[in-house]
């Protein structure tokens, strides 16, 4: 039997490891493969999301900006350490079809040297090169080795890589610029593994919308804190009015409720529901881009579903509260990115959020 004959397969073999979801929407690619399909602009946006959504949120930076374009002066993303914007880290994005090589970065280092020499930009604390296929071993050695070797390489390649690429008129390596480059800290230059960036990006609100795979698992919801927060005042004051009406006695604080166990237990349930919905709001904030406002869409669906119930006439306020919140808990919530993470108590609590917003009331 020939080699060709021995490798012939008539019927395609079924690939293993597929799920029902794969059949419905296609097999999900690893983010590391997805970003290799990006153009330069999409890759810069991905890095901006990571720097803003992860590094800034964990307190590394005070502000993060995307620059990009031909006038970026070697900075696609700028992250400021201080409020005054005097201390910064720069991120240079290079979306190439191959690993980033030393020859690819000389011009970017040259841009930084020239623009800080001319005082066009702040000299950074750190300067990172980021690429979908990371960097070659040679460039990694230069970045993590003796910084004078990297400096020497930039100077040696100035004519070939930098002179005609930094500015339209060209930038020659004169004595003053050479002296400046000789004394600056080349220890600022570094890179970050793309898999590490992806892992940190997975903790941002942009990850699910960019790569799919569903939202992060929602944390368990705790009971409401003992003390009433000032943000709860609108709906809490209306609850106190309802208890005052039923007991025919002034109730204006949690302490006053101590004399009425039934009301106190009811109040506890309402606050737990409010905080359940609040936990959903925070989860949406942390896992989805802010412009989507899925929590706002959720409370709008609840409002639409309870409005008729809320507009009926009731013999007392507590009966209205229970009727409206009971109706809310029965509502189906569809077409919302949070749908599979919405709990029954969230819909109850959404009513109190709507009271806080002045969209319904318990009068």
DSSP annotation string for 160-203: IIITTTSSTT-----HHHHHHHHHS-GGGEEE--HHHHHHHHTT
Question: Do the strands 88-93 and 77-80 form a parallel or antiparallel pair, or are they unpaired?
Answer: antiparallel
- Residue 72's pLDDT is what? 73
Strands 77-80 and 126-130 come out as unpaired
Do 208 and 288 touch, CB atoms closer than 8 A? Answer: yes
CA distances from 74 to 116, 165, 329 (A): 11, 11, 54
pTM (2 d.p.): 0.81
**C-alpha–C-alpha distance, residues 50 and 197, integer Å:** 7
Could you give the maximum distance between any two Cα atoms of the chain, in Å?
98
Q: Which two tokens stand for residue 237?
A: 């004051």
- What region does 251 belong to: left with phi over 0, alpha with psi -120 to 50, or beta? beta
Q: Give the closest residue to 355 by CA, choosing from 291, 286, 246, 270.
A: 270
Contacts of range 175-180, beta carbons closer than 8 Å, 24 or more positions apart: 176/117, 177/113, 177/114, 177/117, 180/113, 180/117
Query: In which residue are the tokens 């209205």 written?
Result: 320
- Residue 200 neighbours by CB under 8 Å, 6+ apart: 50, 54, 55
Residue 294 contacts residue 300 (beta carbons within 8 Å) = no
pLDDT of residue 20: 58
Contact predicate 306/356, CB 8 Å = no
Strand partners, 56: none
Residue 111 CA: distances (Å) to CA of 71, 78, 271: 11, 15, 57
8 A C-beta contact, residue 155 and residue 173: yes
d(CA 225, CA 124): 44
pLDDT in tens, the chain (363 residues): 455 555 676 777 665 665 555 555 566 789 999 999 999 999 999 999 999 999 999 999 999 999 866 677 878 999 999 999 999 999 999 999 999 999 999 999 999 999 999 999 999 999 999 999 999 999 999 999 999 999 999 999 999 999 998 887 889 999 999 999 999 999 999 999 999 999 999 999 999 999 988 888 899 999 999 999 999 999 999 999 999 999 999 999 999 999 999 999 999 999 999 999 999 999 999 999 989 999 999 999 999 999 999 999 999 999 999 999 999 999 999 999 999 999 999 999 999 999 999 999 998
Rounded Cα distance between 238 and 241, Å, is 5
Neighbouring residues of 149: CB distance < 8 A, sequence distance ≥ 6: 142
Measured torsion, CA atoms of residues 200, 186, 62, 277, in degrees rounded to the nearest 10: 0
Which residues share a beta bridge with 126? 89
């Amino acid at each position: 039997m020939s080699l060709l004959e021995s490798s012939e397969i008539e019927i395609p073999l079924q690939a293993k490891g597929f799920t029902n979801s794969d059949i419905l929407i296609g097999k999900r690619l690893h983010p590391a493969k997805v970003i290799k399909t990006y153009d330069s602009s999409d890759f810069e946006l991905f890095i901006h999301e990571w720097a803003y959504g992860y590094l800034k949120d964990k307190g590394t930076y005070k502000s993060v900006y995307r620059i990009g374009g031909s006038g970026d002066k070697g900075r696609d993303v700028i992250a400021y350490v201080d409020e005054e914007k005097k201390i910064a880290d720069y991120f240079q994005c290079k979306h190439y079809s191959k690993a980033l090589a030393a020859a690819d970065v000389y011009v970017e280092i040259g841009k930084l040297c020239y623009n800080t020499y001319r005082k066009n930009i702040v000299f950074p604390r750190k300067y990172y090169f980021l690429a979908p296929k990371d960097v070659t071993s040679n460039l990694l050695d230069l970045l993590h080795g003796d910084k004078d070797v990297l400096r020497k390489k930039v100077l040696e390649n100035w004519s070939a890589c930098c002179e005609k690429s930094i500015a339209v008129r060209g930038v020659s390596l004169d004595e003053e610029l050479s002296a400046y480059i000789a004394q600056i800290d080349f220890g600022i230059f570094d890179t970050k593994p793309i898999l590490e960036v992806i892992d940190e990006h997975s903790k941002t609100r942009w990850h699910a919308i960019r790569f799919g795979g569903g939202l992060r698992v929602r944390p368990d919801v705790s009971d409401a804190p003992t003390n009433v927060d000032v943000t709860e005042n609108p709906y809490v004051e209306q609850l106190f009015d309802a208890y005052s009406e039923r007991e025919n006695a002034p109730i204006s604080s949690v302490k006053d409720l101590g004399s009425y166990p039934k009301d106190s237990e009811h109040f506890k349930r309402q606050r737990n529901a409010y905080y359940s919905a609040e936990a959903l709001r925070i989860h949406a904030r942390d896992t989805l881009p802010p412009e989507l406002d899925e929590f706002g869409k959720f409370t709008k669906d609840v409002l639409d579903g309870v409005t008729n119930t809320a507009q009926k006439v009731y013999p007392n306020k507590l009966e209205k509260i229970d009727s409206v919140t009971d109706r809310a808990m029965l509502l189906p919530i569809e077409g919302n990115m949070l749908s599979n993470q919405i709990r029954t108590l969230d819909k109850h609590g959404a009513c109190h959020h709507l009271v806080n917003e002045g969209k319904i009331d318990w009068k």
